[in-house]
Chain A
């Protein structure tokens, strides 16, 4: 197979509050022989908040990010559900609205860029499952996670709205479950696996946010999960760094390690815990010791 090569849109958290996500992405890509060319020109996707303030500006900035992937002739890979949603939403709108595309390109022309619509945008989760192949990952597993019950937490922005995300059924997603099984783990079924973590109202509605993440961790705990795993760093921030608040909101005390999807795959492929940044979690990940 020809070596897979993507333009990597890291998003903001991978370079700041979730350094382990960047570390594990690079470690897994290396193991699988996937080449990731970082889009160092890219700006923040607006995270749905800039979109609430100035819609057109957010479309222009996201179109600029995509234009750089197009220049490299590569598919854009994201490692954050919200980056995926905002980039894919921009592409969807531009590809279906010639008038908007013309207005955006008029602005991009001022800085010598053009949005053409030639690059696909895909989350790293689907890049490794669909493009690299689940079966091949399975063959490469050297440390199967067979002792563990693992609760998948999909994160809204990679499954909804379904018109943008055709790979999983938002009400019966299977990709992350399949990946858990390929890594040798037991996937845990629970009600909250496709629900919201509350991240986007963290500041204005901390109680709502903590209740939603609390319900999710409780659901995983009550179904005997040893750990949760998520493809989204924002969900990770809610479930890991804010776990204490989540527990308080639902009257529970949690001790639930939460792994980034890349860390889970990395462990199964034989990467070291340090290489995957497990030391950067607020809730200690003890089982690798």
Chain B
């Protein structure tokens, strides 16, 4: 699925290209996927995000020099019983963030399996980033940074250790992904500002819904 293009005016009057990219979040339940994305999108973190109270679908833009990248972030179901459903989520994704918890070695093993699966089944041009989350828990680290770094290099992945709690490398991770995404592959630019999401549009239509018989 191709990314969609558009354009928007900056404050200085220059006209930027807007590129929409689908980004999926993968990783075992409890590694902090939702915290990471909430920190990126809303700049928030809460210790009370018990086993991920977060958000299932979110959008966020990143401004590059001449392009605005709009991420459409899809949170996937990470539980083992939903594993067979994952391909439906990453189908057509241009970017994926595979998250593990540096204080839990099993989640790193699982992350490697996700990477393997993406390389086998997702779009060949997908940009994959590996995020070692909970970097603030260095004292109880189970996954050495060198091991993850070397695995990422061997597999051509972007890699960063992140902490949603201390806001370490969160913006940097998404910025690195935005930079690596192929903007030239976008569809024909569409004039106008960012389109409202479907639910906003539904509200504009009134009567609280959108179904027409």
* B is bound to A: no
